[in-house]
């Protein structure tokens, strides 16, 4: 049953050859409300040669709706990443020679992620070289809140157990092979096959290996693990860095001495 507004849209497109793009779909019901029966829509509403493109973070939604093809968006290639960065950092597609080396360092950090490139590029627009150097140093240790907020949408949609699996992989297992990852998750009492599949569906890990993770997604896991107590490693849900572990041990030792 289509809603009135949706029915109006399809009436305007009746028998027209159209390209329809449905962006940011995060529930199967959204597709059912808007498109109803897909085959009937393509056969009776739209004209021949019409295409419907659905953009979603969750591959499971696409499969449930019965899409014909699923395309996994890949990181931008170096040349394309540089052009996109130039568009937002300089409002042109090329990079000034004075900034080229710094731009390549920024792009190395973004790892071809379009959102990261846009956000960082916009923040550097109109700034001098010294500001760029300072900002780059900050990027190495502090993640952009704008980027993290967008990436976190997929994390927030996970079931609690799969959130724990995601954090384990981000903090400890992102560079391990799939067999080892599954063994560790199994010992932890999780259900690794289902959990890894859910993470892959939501593009939090790559499907090819079942555990590999984009650097920014890994950084998201780190941010979540320490977000409530950013300056107190002893209270983080996970410790993965030697220096943070040492600080936590020292803090704990001080507290034990005070208690005694």
pLDDT of 170 higher than 60: yes
pLDDT value at position 141? 63
Q: What are phi and psi of 51, to 5 degrees?
A: -130, 140
Residue 22: strand pairing partners = 54
Which range, 104-108, 113-117, 256-260, has the best average confidence (pLDDT)?
A: 104-108
CB 78 within 8 A of CB 41: no
CB 58 within 8 A of CB 202: yes
Q: What is the dihedral of CA 110, 112, 116, 122, to 10 degrees?
A: 100
Distance CA 72, CA 75 (A): 10
pLDDT value at position 35? 62
pLDDT value at position 253? 60
Helices (H), ranges, the chain: 4-12, 28-35, 38-40, 59-65, 78-89, 100-110, 114-124, 129-141, 145-156, 160-168, 178-187, 192-201, 215-226, 242-259
Give the residue, 7 or 176, on which the prediction is more confident: 176
Band the pLDDT of 93: cuts 50, 70, 90.
confident
* pTM of the predicted structure, to 2 decimals: 0.62
pLDDT value at position 171? 92
pLDDT of 184 higher than 90: yes
Least confident of 96-110, 171-185, 186-200: 96-110
pLDDT value at position 165? 96
Give the residue, 8 or 75, on which the prediction is more confident: 75
pLDDT tens for 52-64 read 888 887 888 888 8
pLDDT tens for 204-236 read 887 554 447 888 888 889 989 988 888 888 888
Band the pLDDT of 5: cuts 50, 70, 90.
low
pLDDT tens for 33-49 read 666 566 655 555 677 77
Band the pLDDT of 258: cuts 50, 70, 90.
very low
Which range, 88-92, 93-97, 145-149, has the best average confidence (pLDDT)?
A: 88-92
């Amino acid at each position: 049953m289509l809603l009135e507004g949706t029915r109006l849209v399809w009436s305007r497109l009746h028998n027209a050859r159209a390209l329809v793009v449905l962006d940011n779909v995060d529930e199967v019901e959204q597709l059912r409300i808007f498109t109803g029966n897909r085959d009937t829509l393509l056969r009776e509403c739209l004209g021949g040669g019409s295409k419907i493109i659905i953009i979603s973070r969750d591959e499971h939604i696409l499969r449930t709706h019965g899409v014909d093809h699923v395309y996994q968006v890949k990181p931008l290639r170096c040349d394309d990443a540089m052009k996109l960065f130039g568009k937002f950092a300089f409002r042109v597609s090329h990079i000034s020679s004075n900034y080229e080396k710094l731009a390549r360092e920024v792009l190395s950090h973004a790892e071809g992620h379009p959102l990261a490139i846009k956000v960082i590029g916009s923040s550097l627009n109109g700034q001098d070289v010294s500001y760029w150097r300072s900002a780059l140093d900050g990027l190495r240790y502090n993640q952009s809140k704008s980027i993290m907020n967008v990436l976190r949408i997929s994390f927030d949609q996970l079931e609690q157990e799969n959130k724990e699996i995601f954090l384990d992989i981000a903090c400890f297992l992102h560079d391990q092979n799939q067999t080892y990852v599954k063994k560790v998750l199994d010992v932890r009492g999780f259900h690794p096959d289902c959990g890894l599949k859910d993470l892959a569906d939501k593009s939090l890990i790559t499907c090819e290996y079942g555990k590999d993770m984009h650097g920014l997604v890994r950084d998201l896991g780190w941010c979540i693990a320490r977000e409530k107590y950013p300056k107190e490693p002893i209270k983080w849900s996970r410790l993965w860095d030697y220096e943070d572990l040492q600080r936590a041990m020292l803090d704990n030792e001080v507290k034990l001495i005070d208690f005694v």
